Amino acid sequence: MLDILEIFIRGSILGAIFSLIGIGLNIQYGVTRILNIAHGEFLMVGAYVTWFVFTFFGVNPLVSLAISGPVVFVLGVLVQTTVFRRLVHLSTSGEELEFRSLLACFGLMFIIQNVVGTIGRLANWPPTIGTPYLYQTINILGERVQLNMIVTAVMSMIISVLMFILLRSTRLGLAMRATVEEPTGAQLVGINIFKIHAVSFGLGALLSALAGSMLAMMYSNMTPYTGPQYTFIALAVIILGGMGSFFGSLLGGFFIGYLYYACLAIDPLIVNIVVYAFIIIMLIIRPKGFFGR
């Protein structure tokens, strides 16, 4: 029998972090038109940065968010400026850019996976990593829940709210929205859209890395090849919520969280089947999502 209360509590925890991952991918695609299939690899790098500074320097995993986020932000900016900016110049249409960048992202995914995997083998790192932190349990409505899961959910929501404030109430956010709505007009009023593209891609990578750092606190099964499963979760989130919709990503993340945990409770082997089938069905019946424009 499915425990509805357990699905609600643990599904909400997963939903909060899935929303954060989805928001990051939505920002990247919404501003730059690059569907970053390597999004999960930035999450994985964030997890490895947190594990590294925790294992070798004893840095608190929560404090390490201030390290993994900026490190992966810089990595994202470098990738955008060295790879995708060139593709923008070479592409003659938005469709051509999306096709070329999609192929480039597949290559980027395999490069990041194998670089981290090779470093791990040479340095004799364990095959799976995690940062054991706050494993104590607390009682929530009769359910015993690990404290690190609660902290992860709360932190994910706080980061999502801060990102919404940045997008809606700052000059950077205004410039990002102007670049999406009217790129030519944005350039006419002095906005450097190439810098906005780089920053937007970096912010998406940063959100993914923060999610990876917090997932490493919850689970000890992160590997160099963990990323794709979270990329497809992010895709499911934004396909449900709609490309370009912040609240769509937020609500979509929670829906996928409940669906994901319900499948786990039934049989872990059906999780990927259900999530991927859901993506296909949504693309057929409502390709723009529930909140897409």
Q: Is residue 287 part of a domain?
A: no
Strand partners, 143: 140
Q: Is residue 211 part of a domain?
A: yes
Q: Is residue 168 part of a domain?
A: yes
Condensed to tens digits (0 to 9), the pLDDT of residues 25-44 reads 999 998 988 889 999 999 99
Condensed to tens digits (0 to 9), the pLDDT of residues 5-16 reads 888 999 999 999
Count the Cβ atoms, other than its own, within 10 Å of residue 63. 11
Can you give the pLDDT at residue 291?
75
29: nearest Cα among 275, 289, 272 = 289
Tell me how far apart the alpha carbons of residues 252 and 228 are, in angstroms, rounded to a whole number: 18
Q: Tell which wins on pLDDT, 95 or 261.
A: 261
Can you give the pLDDT at residue 267?
86
Q: Is residue 274 part of a domain?
A: no
- Residue 140 has φ and ψ, to the nearest 5°, of -125, 105
Q: Is residue 238 part of a domain?
A: no
Condensed to tens digits (0 to 9), the pLDDT of residues 112-158 reads 999 999 999 999 999 999 998 888 888 887 788 899 999 999 999 99
Q: Is residue 291 part of a domain?
A: no
Residues with Cβ < 8 Å from 29, sequence gap 6 or more?
35, 36, 238, 243
Instruction: Write the CA distances from 30 to 98, 164, 176, 197, 224, integer angstroms.
Output: 12, 14, 9, 10, 27
Q: Is residue 60 part of a domain?
A: yes
Condensed to tens digits (0 to 9), the pLDDT of residues 268-293 reads 889 888 888 888 888 888 888 877 65
Mean pLDDT over all residues of the chain? 90
* Across 256-265, average pLDDT: 90
Q: How many domains does the chain have?
A: 1
Strand partners, 129: 222
Tell me how far apart the alpha carbons of residues 245 and 268 are, in angstroms, rounded to a whole number: 30
Can you give the pLDDT at residue 292?
64
Can you give the pLDDT at residue 288?
82
pTM summary value: 0.93
Condensed to tens digits (0 to 9), the pLDDT of residues 44-103 reads 999 999 999 999 999 999 999 999 999 999 999 999 999 888 887 777 666 777 888 888
Instruction: Write the CA distances from 124 to 43, 44, 164, 219, integer angstroms.
Output: 21, 18, 41, 20
Can you give the pLDDT at residue 210?
97
- pLDDT band of residue 2 (cuts 50, 70, 90) is low
Question: 18-22, 111-115, 213-217, 240-244: which has the minimum mean pLDDT?
Answer: 240-244
pLDDT higher than threshold 90 for residue 170: yes
pLDDT higher than threshold 60 for residue 1: no
DSSP E strands in 60-171: the ranges are 137-140, 143-146
Q: Is residue 135 part of a domain?
A: yes
Give the domain extent around 189: 4-226
